[in-house]
Amino acid sequence: MLYFIFAGLIVLLDRLFKLWIARTLDPGQVIELIPGILRLTHTENTGAAFSILSDMRWLLVTLSSAAVLALVLMIIFYKRDGFARFATASILGGAVGNLIDRIDTGRVIDMFEPLFVNFAVFNVADVFIVLGGVALLIHTLIPSGTRPRDAGQRKSPVVAMERTLADDILADIPDTPPDTQTDTRELAEELTEERILEEYYRDLAAGQNGGGNDSSRSSNSNEKPDNSGDNGA
């Protein structure tokens, strides 16, 4: 739910900014933000990025809707990595923001025009699509064992034990292709987590039973002197 709230906030920000531009600037009018670097303008794009597929409104609506559905499914089913889901939610928010424009008017409002480079005019939704895409790409390229989150987890003695047991499990598995070794290790570590928890609760239950036996023995030993005293009398 948190990821969809994040995507919804991106959509809201994008809509508010586009409405403000539409009411403040006439098409083609500009406002200098940073001289020589960036200015605000009001342009309307009937295509995708860089005016690709211009004047093909319903094809773009269909493609965008399919992309939105795919992103939603990725967020729902890819539950093992919160960072990747936030990056996907960022792309989702931008895609929905531009999809609303295409369904409503068939034109996407763009407003940010860089002046230091020959680049297309873009909008808030485009910014979050690019940021999410870059974050997802970098996250995918970084090996899972070297990510900061994973590095912090590896400091735990329990996790160190998990990795040792995972190595034992992997040693019993035939050689796997390089592209599947990471997934195999993660699966092995999950199995060892379950094994450690089972052993922990088994030892805990055994300790409780042992404690009960010890207390019963101590109570019996305390009663014996009283009985011997009565017999002597």
- Token pair for 96: 């929905």
Helix (H) or strand (E) holding 125: helix 124-141
Q: Has residue 16 got a pLDDT over 90?
A: yes
In this prediction, residue 100 carries a pLDDT of 94
Task: Give the residue from 145, 147, 124, 123 showing the smallest Cα distance to 135.
Answer: 147
For residues 91 and 71, is the Cβ–Cβ distance under 8 A? yes
Amino acid at 126: D
Compute the distance between CA of residue 142 and CA of residue 137 in angstroms, rounded to an integer: 9
In this prediction, residue 180 carries a pLDDT of 54
Each residue's pLDDT tens digit, 102-112: 998 888 999 99
In this prediction, residue 70 carries a pLDDT of 95
Compute the distance between CA of residue 58 and CA of residue 102 in angstroms, rounded to an integer: 8
Rounded to an integer, the average pLDDT of 145-160 is 51
3-state helix, strand, coil split of the chain in percent (to 5) is: 70, 10, 20
Q: Has residue 230 got a pLDDT over 70?
A: no
Rounded to an integer, the average pLDDT of 5-20 is 96
Considering 81, 126, 175, 226, which one is annotated as catalytic?
Answer: 126
Helix (H) or strand (E) holding 39: strand 38-45
Q: Is 117 helix (H, G, I), strand (E, B) or coil?
A: coil
Query: Is there a catalytic annotation at residue 101?
Result: no
In this prediction, residue 57 carries a pLDDT of 78
Q: Has residue 121 got a pLDDT over 70?
A: yes
Each residue's pLDDT tens digit, 176-224: 555 555 556 566 666 666 666 666 667 766 766 655 555 555 555 554 5
Each residue's pLDDT tens digit, 36-85: 899 999 999 887 766 676 767 788 889 999 999 999 999 998 777 788 99
Q: Has residue 88 got a pLDDT over 80?
A: yes
Task: Give the residue from 200, 202, 225, 22 showing the smallest Cα distance to 111.
Answer: 22
Considering 55, 81, 104, 110, which one is annotated as catalytic?
Answer: 110
DSSP assignment letter at 84 = H
What is the signed CA dihedral for 117, 121, 124, 126, rounded to 10 degrees? -80
- Token pair for 145: 């064992």
- What crossing angle do the helices spanning 157-171 and 178-232 adopt, rounded to 10°? 120
